[in-house]
Amino acid sequence: MNCPWCETLVMSHSTFALGSLAGLAALLDDRETLVRPDDGDVVIVPTAAAFTGITESALAIAAVFDGYDLRVEALMAGDRLALSDPYFARRIGEADLVILGDGSPLHARSVWRATDVGAAIAASTTLVAIGSVATVLGEVMIDPRGGAPTTGLGYRSGAALCVATSDDQMARTRSLLTSDVALVALGPTGIVHHDNNGWRVVRGDVVVTRGQDQATL
């Protein structure tokens, strides 16, 4: 792998994980959490929606930017072969804001792992992950099929992320995690933010636990 954007990884990052697409509009309305680049470049990566419709995912995300003076481009490729075109990694590396669309985190992990596109996503200075796809960001990933912890992509450290599910599945997930791992469960209104110092809760329905005990970030 020979990715020129990997060289920028040491600089500062601003990453938002959202429980749902509704959180993106909230961030755009709040200049203190997501600065509006008046002539900015937004790239949408709907890879995770390959099985449910990347076009629908991209259009729904792009619609949030209606009325803003921004360049918005969706990278309409959902598998490793398509994303191997150098154009995709270059566009992600150039963008002011990169948005990862919701869908299957397991598919996203398999497509992005050890690729130039994955390295460019990891190097993004401003990154937004919507819904279940946020779970791939950490070293620990929560498998949505049963709630068991597995290996994530390790793009952002400090917590394991998941979208809140049934009480039984959340209890199983917590029972399988050691107390040194902070589990962040995002409800539909939940938003958390990661910078070079770790994660913090921004707003909405967010539950943080370590083992079976409630905790803070």
pLDDT tens track for 5-42: 344 344 578 999 999 999 998 888 775 555 454 668 99
- Within 8 A by CB and 6+ apart from 167, the residues are none
Model pTM score: 0.92
Domain count for the chain: 1
Q: Domain with 45 in it: what CATH number?
A: 3.40.50.880
Contact call for residues 6 and 63 (beta carbons, < 8 A): no
pLDDT tens track for 63-109: 999 988 889 999 999 999 999 999 999 999 999 999 999 999 999 99
Tell me the residue type at 111.
Answer: V
Report d(CA 75, CA 187) in Å as an integer: 27
**Is residue 186 domain-resident?**
yes
**Is residue 107 domain-resident?**
yes
Q: From start to end of 28-132, where are the E strands?
A: 41-45, 71-74, 97-100, 126-130
Secondary element (H or E) of residue 210: strand 206-210
Report d(CA 135, CA 144) in Å as an integer: 9
Q: Rounded to a whole number, what is the distance in angstroms from the first to the last CA of the chain? A: 34
**Is residue 4 domain-resident?**
no
**Is residue 177 domain-resident?**
yes
Mean pLDDT for the stretch of residues 205-217: 95
Tell me which residue range forms the domain holding 75: 11-214
Specify which of 20-34, 36-50, 185-199 reaches the highest per-range mean pLDDT.
185-199
**Is residue 5 domain-resident?**
no
